[in-house]
């Protein structure tokens, strides 16, 4: 069985004139257990909408999302979500932020502290358990967000441009760390980005979306061996190819 199945999903909004605007059109995607998928497209292509539909935060106008064969009909702890902007609770210490999901699931205090510590260590922040989020840098906060999402052991991890607000160096470091964590936990990951470079570095497969309405232009396999070198010829060729796909998809070309 596929880990995640996006089955003919489409989504339309009504604009202020009452006209239907199609944001997503007939998106179908199957993801294997343990895969790292990047959803790539220019801004306004509906990639965040697609991720939010998968997360259950928005209802599709048509089609279904299935996790382990079961349909998603609302937000669920089976799907962990990491948001672009900082979603940590500023009144909670780092460890209590990570334990939040366990706390609402009714996990006993000592157990959830131990689990939270384990994930804190996984993201390399074990000295910051008692810090408040405002004492951390942007990259560290996103690592805490990753730990919080992983702590409830979701079947699939969804990431919505999680490194978009970080500077280039931090961003590269975070990408490497994310791959480390992914290899250790063997999670299935769906990662939304508008950066071709990021997608080529991270993904097993890149789902390239076209803009308005968003539909799948092509699913590109990335067969470069890991750990990847960003500057290798294979990566450069792949970047050129994917950039070409995105440019073709533009209406104003």
Partner 1 sequence: MRENVQEFRRFQGMARGFRWAIMPLFFLIAWEVAAVVINNQFILPRLESVAMVLATPFSPILGSGSLVENAIDSLQRVIVGFTVGALLAVPIGVAMGRWRIVEELVDPLVQIFRPIPPLAWVPLALAWFKIGLASMVFIIAIGSFFPVLLNTLDGVRSVKRTWIEAAMTLGATERQILSRVVLPGALPTIWTGMRVGFGIAWMCVVAAEMMPGTNSGLGYLILYAYNFSQVQVIIAGMIVIGVIGLGIDTALRRFEERWFRWRELER
Q: Is 100 in the site for partner 1 (CB under 8 A)?
A: yes
- Contacting partner 1 (CB under 8 A), which of 22, 61, 64, 87? 87
Residue 75 CA to residue 57 CA, distance in Å, equals 6
Q: Report in angstroms how near the CB of residue 198 gets to partner 1 at its nearest.
A: 21
Q: Are strands 70-71 and 62-67 parallel, antiparallel or unpaired?
A: antiparallel
Distance, CA of 46 to CA of 53 (rounded, Å): 10
Residue pair 157/149 in contact (Cβ under 8 Å)? The answer is yes
Residue 24's φ and ψ, nearest 5 degrees, are -135, 140
Does 148 bind partner 1 (CB under 8 A)? Our answer is yes
Which position among 56, 60, 162, 249 is part of the footprint of partner 1 (CB under 8 A)?
A: 56
What is the rounded distance in angstroms from the CA atom of residue 81 to the CA atom of residue 212? 25
Q: Which residues pair with 65 in a beta bridge?
A: 6
The one among 41, 46, 101, 213 contacting partner 1 by CB under 8 A: 101
Least CB distance to partner 1 at residue 57 (A):
6
Sole binder of partner 1 in the list 53, 79, 136, 196 (CB under 8 A)? 79
Q: Given the rule CB under 8 A, which residues bind partner 1?
A: 55-57, 74-77, 79-81, 83, 85-87, 89-91, 100-101, 103-105, 132-134, 148-149, 152
């Amino acid at each position: 069985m596929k880990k995640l199945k996006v089955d003919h999903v489409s989504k339309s909004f009504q604009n202020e004139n009452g006209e239907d605007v199609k944001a997503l059109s007939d998106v179908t995607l199957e993801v294997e257990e343990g895969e790292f998928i990047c959803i790539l497209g220019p801004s306004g292509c509906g990639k965040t909408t697609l991720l939010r539909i998968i997360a259950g935060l928005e209802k599709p106008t048509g089609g279904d999302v299935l996790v382990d064969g079961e349909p998603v009909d609302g937000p669920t702890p089976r799907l962990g979500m990491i948001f672009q902007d900082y979603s940590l609770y500023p009144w909670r210490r780092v460890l209590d932020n990570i334990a939040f999901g366990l706390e609402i699931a009714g996990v006993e205090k000592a157990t959830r502290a131990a689990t939270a510590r384990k994930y804190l260590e996984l993201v390399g922040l074990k000295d910051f358990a008692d810090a408040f989020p405002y004492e951390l840098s942007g990259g560290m906060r996103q690592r805490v967000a990753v730990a919080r999402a992983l702590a409830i052991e979701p079947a699939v991890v969804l990431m919505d441009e999680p490194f978009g607000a970080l500077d280039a160096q931090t961003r590269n470091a975070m990408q490497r760390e994310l791959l480390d964590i992914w290899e250790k936990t063997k999670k299935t990951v769906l990662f939304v980005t508008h950066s071709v470079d990021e997608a080529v570095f991270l993904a097993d497969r890149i789902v390239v979306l076209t803009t308005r309405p968003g539909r799948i232009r092509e699913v590109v396999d990335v067969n470069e061996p890991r750990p990847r070198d960003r500057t290798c010829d294979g990566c450069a060729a792949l970047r050129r190819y994917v950039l070409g796909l995105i440019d073709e998809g533009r209406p104003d070309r």
